[in-house]
Amino acid sequence: MIKTSDLYDLTHTQAAPLLENTEYPWEALGSIGDFILALGPTLSPEEYDQIQENVWVAKDAEIYPSAYIKAPSIIGPGTEVRPGAFIRGNALVGSGCVVGNSTELKNVILFDGVQVPHYNYVGDSILGYKAHMGAGSITSNVKSDKTLVVVRDGSEALETGRKKVGALLGDRVEIGCNSVLNPGTVVGRDSMVYPLSSVRGVVPANSIYKAKDDVVTKE
């Protein structure tokens, strides 16, 4: 259950035209920047300001003065980008999101309602509708040996063909504080991860991840 259609309701993202053509969500990671560059000029000038070249921000988004946004990026309606946020480009941030203080984003899709509110690093990742990462939780997007990332689901190993793959979080996923999502982690819809976890591989939908060998179905 790790296909794009298993993880995401595409009605909650402007990236739907990109993602609907993928079988697995990591297939979209190499195209986020080009997709933003094509989408940005089509956005309504009544709803979005182009605050700099190839950076579009919804008029009702709240961007604090000390936040940094690099092109290409789109920040959706009602989203809050808090002090010290560092958006490094190739970032498509949906509506009603929170990008918090000292949070860093790079090559990401955040669906509507995503919260990464406190000291998070999210790179080469896709976070589904209303996904939430607790304070200090991060995605690790490069293996220590620098080999290509493989997504492991039990005995099945899926080659991504990419050196950098962070986490693919399904809709309404909750990640506990100070957790590390290792390269190629997939967390299914409506699942929860305990604080201080080190997660790798696939966490099934509707599960609670307590430890590597202690994953239970939500009641």
CA pair distance 180, 163, nearest whole angstrom: 18
Q: Is 132 an annotated catalytic residue?
A: no
DSSP characters over 166-200: -EEE-TT-EE-TT-EE-TTEEE-TT-EE-TT-EE-
Catalytic residue among 37, 70, 84, 118: 118
CB 25 within 8 A of CB 7: yes
CB 168 within 8 A of CB 6: no
Would you please indicate which residues are annotated as catalytic (active-site) residues? 118
